[in-house]
Amino acid sequence: MLEDLLLTTDTIAAAERVDWWQDRTASLFGAEYRVEPEKHRPFGINMEIDMAPAAPLVLVKGAGTAHLSARHEGGSGAPNIVAHLQLQGRCTVRAEGREALIGPGDLVIHRVGAANSLHFHEDYRQICMVVPESMLAPAITDWSGLVGVAMPTEAGAPAVFAEHLRALAAHPGIFHGPGSEDLPFLTTGLLRAALCSRQPGHIPRSPGLRAYHLERVKQYALAHLRHPALHIDVIATGVKLSPRYIHRLFEDEPLSLMNWVKKERLVRAREQLEQPGCRLSICKVAHAWGFSDQAHFSRSFRKHFGLSPCEVRAG
């Protein structure tokens, strides 16, 4: 089960470290990795994992010796994206037919579940953020041109996201402290901005003022899904539009604004219940996503998915 923890080979005999590490990664991440260390040095690695309880985000701080880590296609778990920020050392990342050599300060994206490999050419340090693909929607739906491409972080939105990752990594347990509930949404918003700034040609753009305001309303609602008091008046104040105009924006949409909000809450609650590391009760998951009444949450959940929260958690 994935939880906040520290993994280190420091206490493992040198001859047993590769096998020990491959076993740990298989049990933690639901996939087998082939690890090939540098021939003339003992293999060593340290990994700190910090999981956000309010949203399915995982922060990983890693450091180790030169080695190749290769993953085959497949494995368990929901579709996730890994944002990999290199702090020290060079690394060749191969993912989905692309290859990128990254150095300190570079960012690269790869997908969990897809075949990929990381070849660390020397001692290294890195920060990784694991994010469900769904939390980056609707801005990003096409990942071609984004995966396996080196992204410098000297300026613009990528620089802000990189600094944010460094700040999170500098404060162990940051996702568990007071006021931490909004950090996952800030993190995904910054990552989304960084990706959109690099590949605008792959980001769907709808022309017109209506589409612009509709996107603003949805983004504001997504950033505040956890708040039970979220309703159209609150959203209207937040985006500086009238409730009447917002109703008009959603006239041609499949769902009204608040029905869309309910659907998004249910989708994210299900994603959290499906995460192997989620220890929260169904009641707490419901409250975390803005449902003040567990019975109402369970009824809505079954109506939307055809399964109860308990059945989804049981797999």
Do residues 155 and 194 both lie within one domain? yes
* Residue where one domain finishes, among candidates 162, 183, 202: 202
Provide the pLDDT confidence category of residue 204 given band limits of 50, 70 and 90: very low
Do residues 73 and 222 both lie within one domain? no
Do residues 159 and 53 both lie within one domain? yes
Provide the pLDDT confidence category of residue 206 given band limits of 50, 70 and 90: very low
Do residues 224 and 291 both lie within one domain? yes
Give burial (CB, 10 Å; 0-12/13-18/19+) of 209. Answer: exposed
| 227-266 tens-digit pLDDT | 999 999 999 998 888 899 899 889 989 999 999 999 999 9
Do residues 185 and 218 both lie within one domain? no
| 52-65 tens-digit pLDDT | 776 678 899 999 99
Do residues 23 and 159 both lie within one domain? yes
Which residues have a Cβ under 8 Å from the Cβ of 167 and sit 6 or more positions away? none
Say how far apart CA 262 and CA 286 lie, in whole Å: 11
Do residues 198 and 270 both lie within one domain? no
* Residue where one domain finishes, among candidates 140, 167, 202: 202
3-state secondary structure of 125: strand
As for how many domains the chain has, the answer is 2
pTM: 0.62
* Residue where one domain finishes, among candidates 167, 182, 202: 202
Point out which residues pair with 5 in neighbouring strands.
Answer: 49
Do residues 238 and 307 both lie within one domain? yes
- Residue 7 has phi, psi (to 5 degrees) of -110, 130
Do residues 44 and 101 both lie within one domain? yes
Do residues 307 and 288 both lie within one domain? yes
Do residues 164 and 138 both lie within one domain? yes
Do residues 71 and 41 both lie within one domain? yes
- As a whole-number percent, the residues of the chain with pLDDT over 90 amount to 42
Domain of 257, CATH number, reads: 1.10.10.60
Domain of 130, CATH number, reads: 2.60.120.10
- What domain range includes position 244? 209-314
